[in-house]
Amino acid sequence: MNTTATPSVLVLGAGPVGLATALLLRARGSAVTVLEAAAEDAPRPGSRAIFLHRQSLATLAAADPVLGTELVAAGLVWGARCTSYEGREIHRRTYPPPPADRAPFSSLPQPVMEELLRAACRRAGAEIHWGAPVTGLVSSPDGVAVRTPQAGHRAAYAVGCDGARSAVRRAIGVRLRGPRSPHAFLVLDVADDPGRPLPRERAFHYRDPRMAGRNVLTVPFRGGLRVDVQCRPDDDPEALAGAAADWLPGLLPDGHACAVTWSSHYRFQQVVADGLTDRYGRVLLAGEAGHLFAPFGARGLNSGIADAAAAAAATVTGDVAGFAAARHRAALLNRQAAGCALAHLTAAAPWRHAAQRLAAAAAPCSRRAGSWLDRAPYGPRDAGIPGSRY
């Protein structure tokens, strides 16, 4: 097979990473078929992924400039971030509104993001089959054969973008390895109330007295606010979510409608696949099919889009081994960075609590102390990957 010719590629999964992969493959001239297990009208998750970093926006806009504009227009660029400790603000930074063509990020609901990506894929000529779960996959030196309940499909390559419970990963005999956090995190989406607008700032609250000393992160997106609550070891996350009507009003402007549109809870995994390809170099893994991180620093979605770009390039050049090596290293670095944030947040070691308390006490006189408390919950700014933040 001539690996320098534009190949046919199966993309398995139509979440944000799968749709991005299909779009980037079409931009390189590959024939693309997307197979998605869910129905087209199946309910989509809430704010599991809401933050597209500048790097991801640029990657997608290079494939489809219209999409790049739409993702910024449909999202929100919040103008401030602040950090509080035990109810006292200790750090704040504000930003001037950026030019529309140089947005540093876009914060938008995942269903809206997916809708825009689907439209871009249609414009690009990618074929999407809904209700088509992978029931069989066989790879060989010459390509990949995939079976669904409706039909069989063959292509030169397949890219598995089918998420944490990836059927593709299992089919090629790859395992995820790494620790799982014992701490649960509760996540809620709250809809905007036109009469009492939500704050347009990202806020982290250490030991928030409004939540009986739990850590709370709030992140605005277009149309609402994401609320992350770090549960205590003895919390029942489902019971805490069920009691949201009691505690949520205290986190929002007085009189806010407090309409919860989606909620979930997680014990974050910090796992990376043994490898990101099959033994023949015909099946590639991208996004959560190949790694799961705690989301601090927005590493899940954005590293998945970096995977998508690398996979699209590898299927055209034939350098699948290079893709596997580079993106596996990236996954390990991203896991390490997310792990730093998770360790800071959970503060299992007494010295971490002491360091946070000392920095909070010093913050009124030391901008450096306040800045550290503001940055640390999101992990290192750069994962150490040349040419990429993710």
3-state SS record for 133-179: CCCEEEEECCEEEEECCCCEEEECEEEECCCCCCHHHHHCCCCEECC
User: In this structure, are residues 277 and 181 in contact, taking their beta carbons and an 8 Å threshold?
Assistant: no
Each residue's pLDDT, cut to its tens digit, for the chain (390 residues) gives 334 457 899 999 999 999 999 999 999 999 999 999 999 988 877 667 789 999 999 999 999 999 999 999 999 999 999 999 999 999 999 999 888 778 999 999 999 999 999 999 999 999 999 999 999 999 999 999 999 999 999 999 999 999 999 999 999 999 999 998 888 899 999 999 988 888 899 999 999 999 999 999 999 999 999 999 999 989 999 999 999 999 999 999 998 999 999 999 888 889 999 999 999 999 999 999 999 988 788 888 999 999 999 999 999 999 999 999 999 999 999 999 988 998 999 898 899 999 999 999 999 999 999 999 999 998 887 666 666 778
Note whether 8-76+100-178+270-337 and 182-268 share their fold.
no
pLDDT of 266 reads 87
Q: How many CB atoms lie within 10 A of CB 253?
A: 13
Closest to 177 in 3D by CA, of 287, 17, 60, 335: 335
Size (the chain), residues: 390
Q: Which CATH architecture best describes the domain 8-76+100-178+270-337? A: 3-Layer(bba) Sandwich (3.50)
In degrees, rounded to 5, the angle at the alpha carbon of residue 23 between the alpha carbons of residues 22 and 26 is 85
How does DSSP classify residue 376? G
User: What's residue 5's pLDDT?
Assistant: 58
Question: What Å distances lie between residue 289 and 12, 56, 242, 308, 339, CA to CA?
Answer: 10, 19, 31, 12, 19
Rounded Cα–Cα distance for residues 253 and 257 (Å)? 9
Q: Name the token pair of 236.
A: 């029942």
Q: Using CA atoms, how far apart are residues 354 and 347, in angstroms rounded to an integer?
A: 9
User: CA 248, CA 232: separation in Å to the nearest integer?
Assistant: 17
**Protein fold of 182-268:** Alpha-Beta Plaits (3.30.70)
Instruction: Identify whether the C-beta of residue 52 lies closer than 8 Å to the C-beta of residue 306.
Output: no
Task: Give the pLDDT score at 7.
Answer: 83
Q: With contact defined as beta carbons under 8 Å apart, do 58 and 65 qualify? A: no
d(CA 23, CA 21): 5
8 A C-beta contact, residue 127 and residue 25: no
Element (H, E) at 322: helix 320-346
Report CA-CA distances (Å) from 178 to 38, 169, 188, 268, 270: 28, 16, 27, 11, 6
Q: What pLDDT is recorded for position 373?
A: 95
Q: Where are the domains of the chain?
A: 8-76+100-178+270-337, 182-268
Which whole-number Å values give the CA distances from 374 to 178, 187, 266, 271, 293, in the listed order?
Answer: 27, 20, 23, 26, 20
What residues have CB less than 8 Å from 205, skipping those under 6 apart?
83, 84, 85, 87, 211, 215, 216, 217, 218
d(CA 383, CA 390) in angstroms, rounded, equals 6
Q: How far apart are alpha carbons 32 and 123 in whole angstroms?
A: 13
